[in-house]
Structure 1
Amino acid sequence: MTVDRSYIRVKAMLITPNTDGTRHLVSAHAPTRENPSGFHRLIGGGVELGETHRDAIIREIDEELGSGIVDLTHLGMIENIFRYNGELGHEIVALYTGRMVHVPSEDGGTLTESDGSIVPVVWRPMDDAGVAQPLYPAAARVWLREWPPSE
């Protein structure tokens, strides 16, 4: 499925830590022109017309991973301007943290995108140690460097 990137999209994404807080769940994507070794993206997705970003992250995690979220907390907003296979993209991302009710195994798992495609999910170290794939949105690293978030 091609995505129309000619407008600014509104997204909601989640930093969800594993039980000991050393890793967080991300979707693992195939190589692109900009990222020949692939890339990782925070889980979540688009906000639909008339939907709050809070409701969007709850819906996206349920649709993609079949899980509810507890302790959902809004961390902040990120503006993400990027290129995907040469095409300009622009997103405004509401960033959340929370724990999933149904946590994927330590080996990861898969999620189902809205177009039916299956994407692997993996546990990425909070500190990015030894990870070749970049994380998007890149500005989320500010929160990950200071993990856990302050109360």
Structure 2
Amino acid sequence: MAVLLGSDGTRHAVARLEPSRENPEGYHRLVGGGVEFGETSLEAVVREVREELGATLIDPSLLGVLENHFELDGDPGHEVVFVYCGRLDPADRVPPQGGMFADNDQPMPVEWRPIDDASVRIPLYPSGAGALVRQAAAHLRAD
């Protein structure tokens, strides 16, 4: 998955997923998906960003690895997520108001979530992603 910061460093792009039993208003997740057999996590995040957003991930760097235990509509899940940070080419691929993209031929709204998301009611997954987003934003501000 990828932390994709906006040019001003105050927000990041997220997919907005449908409501579930646990999250009746829906939920946000970082852009990107799973590693396919035979590819590295780096190859996977580059491929997923291309497939989901039609953009190239530039200068991807590994922020961290998260282990996430969750429930989705009552079904337990477990995933290990490699979280990368990078820039998009084209940089404006996700418009300021967000946009509609596709994930496995299914509509996928992508919107901007503030880095300082304490007032956002919609949860961000995977668990622990918010800390990595803030880390990436702090690194950007330091440069």
Give yes or no for contact 1:127–1:144 (8 Å, CA) kept in 2.
no
Identity of aligned residues (%): 45
TM-score (norm 1): 0.86
Q: Which moved more, 1:26-35 or 1:103-112?
A: 103-112
Pick aligned residue for 1:65 from 53, 63, 80: 53
2:97 equivalent to 1:104: no
Give yes or no for contact 2:66–2:127 (8 Å, CA) kept in 1.
no
After the TM superposition, list the runs of 4 or more consecutive aligned residues in structure 1 that deviate by more than 6 angstroms.
none
2:62 equivalent to 1:74: yes
Contiguous gaps of at least 5 residues in structure 2: none
Give yes or no for contact 1:64–1:113 (8 Å, CA) kept in 2.
yes
How many pairs does the alignment contain? 138
Q: Aligned residue for 1:22? A: 10
Pick aligned residue for 2:34 from 37, 40, 46: 46
Q: Aligned residue for 2:120? A: 131
TM-score (norm 2): 0.91
> CA offsets, 1:45-81, max 9 Å, x none?
0100010000000001111110001121111100011
Letter in 2 for 1:130: S
* Secondary structure class of the residue paired with 1:44: coil
* Secondary structure class of the residue paired with 1:96: strand
